[in-house]
Structure 1
Amino acid sequence: MPLTLRDLLAFGCGGDHVAVTAERLSDRPIATAAAVAGIEEIGEVGPGTLVCSDDPSLAADEPGFVTALRLAAERRAAGLLVPGRPESVPPAVLALANHLDVAVVLTDAGDSPERIVAIMNLLLPATTSADAAVIGMVTRRLHQNLTDAEGMIRVLTTVLRLPVGVVDTQLRVVAGNLPAQALRDLPRGLRGRSARQQVHAVDEDSLLVVQPIRLAPASPVNLRIAAVVPAVPALARTVSQALVVAAWAFVAYLATVSLTLEREGGKRAALLTRLLDEAEAPAAYVLERATAAGWRLDGVHTGVHVRADGGDVTPSFLSYRLGEALVSIDRTSTPLPDGDGWSFWLTDLDDEQEARTLTALRTALLEVERSCEGVRMRAGIGAPGEGTAGIRDSLVDARLACAVARTREEPGAVERVGSSSATRLLIHHYVTDAQLGFARQLLGPLLTADPSGQLLRTLASYLDRQSSATGTAVDLGIHRNTVLQRLDRIRSLVPVDLTDPDERLGLHLAVRLLLRQSHPAPAALPGTGRPSAGRQALLAVGRTGGEQRKSQQPAQKPGRLLGHVHDHPVDHAHRRAQSALDQLRKRSVG
């Protein structure tokens, strides 16, 4: 038999609701639900229909509501779900509704009738008596236990008397008593974005029913409810329907959590901290809240870290402006407060999307700079990584890249760290004191002749702009002739041939290393290149203070500015940099 109005309302399909008519009317079976925009549409519904509307003219305290009751009775509708409060309904109207056998449910919820109807019609397909009994029991008990995942899974396990659990994107059981071996042979496709229920054979005698949990059509699927069922068609059908109901219960629970996170922005920052700390195997609590926040956890992620320097603008306004500016990149990725800036990540970018992201990110940073006087925005993009561990690692890289971007003078600077990117050559754990000493030795004459650093900044801008004097002049806001005069002086102080590609590369790296001394990059554990814990690394990476080196190297020993440090592999970028810097060292010594 079909579900009753009481069953549907116990699940919470009508939001904040109250049935104001006789109890017997709540036990009437519901054939279907329909949303209507006006009173005339009630005349078109079929028998057993629950009519839902948010039309103000159909509110229970409006004169037109009596006409709606009579039309519903003529069509043998099961009831009306309309706006209103119990105290505002005249007793005579309630008496008429009871006399006409039309249930009246009042709601002040913000859900649209169309959404309520969609949920109800998902639950209303004709079922057997056994199906209805099980689903009714699941619905009522879940309504009483919408507090956490463990509580809801206990309800399902008790009612269904089967192993049930919540599974994350990496096929780990994060809640419940579902045996891990039931997931062992699942196809790779289950880890994807599918929002459809799936059924897989565990062995000859049992099936695995997997129901995705999704807040909205565009939301990510980070969690799924799964149950092992004997291979009996009738029982599998009942469990399948029960898991659909349970998924909506989870959606209701996560929607509440989502509202809490929206109201208390600080909780999102704390949630990110915990997710990064537990990146290898996040707890159920963390996964639930990340899902409620709309975060995408499966797939290949590219981390982005943004930092603002200077200006007299409050962090909250900067965060608001940054969020607005970043909408063009990804409407689902909200920048989260993270240490000294903001972090977010993008998922499954192809080469073309990655190129567009670089351009759009710089455009967004420039937009923020234009609207916030005196603020200079910088950003770093990390190397892609898979799963929650990939989010952590890519954000570590992004913060490193952001530290490098802060050494550049141009507005809206963006740096990217790839697996073999030259930016990695500027990361702290690749640099030794001897190498820094050589950079100081090579460029020391510039600093001695110009303690203000004007010549060094001019050289950095010139090299950043592919040796364009015009571009350097625009960047620094000076005349092109002034740039040429400074370059002549630089050539007289530093014995480098700027027309030689290798020497130019080596000089560029040396300039960056010296500029980094005013914006130190973070430390990493020797021999690892990765932090001991995700969050500790992210905090360490963002530091701009710390002790400065107290003494320079007394003498430059034969060696290279960048090279094989702490057993890190030397890639092509390393080798070219080494060659360029070797040439520079030899020329400077000679």
Structure 2
Amino acid sequence: MALGHAEADRITVRQLLSAPVLHAGALLGGQAGLDMPVTGVQIAPRVRESFPIRPGVILVLDGDRMSTDTYFLDLALRWAADAGAAMVLVTSPSLEIRLSPRRLASRLSLPLVEVDADLLTIADELRNLISEPERNLSRLIVSAVAGMSRIGRRETPAAVLSVIDAVLDAASCLVGIDGAVVAGPALERPLSRQERIPVSTYHVADHRARAVHPIALAGSELPSFWLVTEKHAPTAFWREAAATILEIASRYLVAGLMSERLSQERDARFRLGVLNAIIASEGAEPALLHQIGVTGWKVEGWCTAVHVKLTGDGDELRVLARTESLQTALAKFGIIGALIERADGWTFWTFADREPSTSALVDFTRRMRRAMSTFAEGYEDMRLATGVGRPAYGIAGLRRSLSEAQQAATLAQAAGGASVVHNIDELGVERILLGWYSSAESAEIAEVMLRPITENDSDGSLLRTLEVYLDSESSPTITADLLGLHRNTVMNRLARIRELLLIDLDEADQRLAIQLACRTVKIGR
């Protein structure tokens, strides 16, 4: 029997009885307790009084005592059962063990075993067998540390994952802040938002276990990565080993991941600095042209700017993490441009040697809508407002196109929706509202108008209901469909909104004022 295998769980009585040390032993009763896990060995003292017995132990009795105290075995069985012992073992009994203790052992579901062996020798051999899982864990930890210590500083997380897989006989991967796998094989069941938390977790579904360990790159930060390892039909020992090995592996990963993030942030800051210089410049200064040359951006031609604003579930780290996904979505629809990360989204422009035709611009906007919709589908609770400027020539023209794209994105954000793309040339009367949406004074007025709701709307459900209701031509039915609610729920919320705002939503001017306020507040969020 291979009790030393790395997959050994806490050893049970049944396993011990099949080991060589007890192979010659005889099970006299208590068969129902054979699957009881064993925690240790305890030798009974040579006294008749009750004594402390540890839970889960094998209580070893000296068989010579049976000749002078025939009822001591019955007492020991009762004491052992009350204490939660795993087994009673009698060594070299001088008399045949009577029928009554055998029946008592069966009634107590406490295995009773006799063996012809020296008491101290067999106790020592049993202790070695029982402690084998702990020694295995120590060996696994040593193997993991040795394997990871051989990984070079420039090697990818894949090298760490391969060590984890080899030590735990599992499949492991590294998951990023959005739940996407950034290294290792794809997960059959994606890592849910509920699993992406700051503490280690362990779940079993369909006999497949998943151990998850969070990785925070700085002490004050929430985790931005999670180590995940999975195995089919694991043991409790594997769970303990996985938790320890993942914690060790996370320490090896932090330095490399932090270095990679700092590099990404440094490059992003440089690109953003060049973009800001383009926006602020009044001409093609030599220093600016040099910076543009370093980035490899093309500007001496026709540039069409795009401004993407990320709202809802987004921050600077998520912008960095999602850049590659956005680039992929754009490329899928033939849109090529160098993405520049901002704190709240991205900016880029496409380049052409000749001025794009009207039909080409219409097609570009259509492809942008498909690309942004595809990108948005990959993330929960993400909302995108995208603006497209007019094509213009050179750096001066690029500045105008960038400004137009930002204006169009502001109007797209006011429109709401998971992914809205506005081309500045498609906007007519909406541009009249741009001054209102962009004004600090308007934002203050809107905040005051909606304060009775925001102060009584901890989860934002009332404000969201009001926004959708006003954008749905004041239809409770459409609002309910868009929000996935029952119509009565919407009606109850609207009644509460009317009560808080003290306005008449059926009066056109008041309804328009509140709708503008809602859109202004939405842009500010």
Into which bin does the TM-score normalised by the smaller protein fall? 0.3 to 0.5
TM-score (norm. length: structure 2): 0.39
TM-score (norm. length: structure 1): 0.35
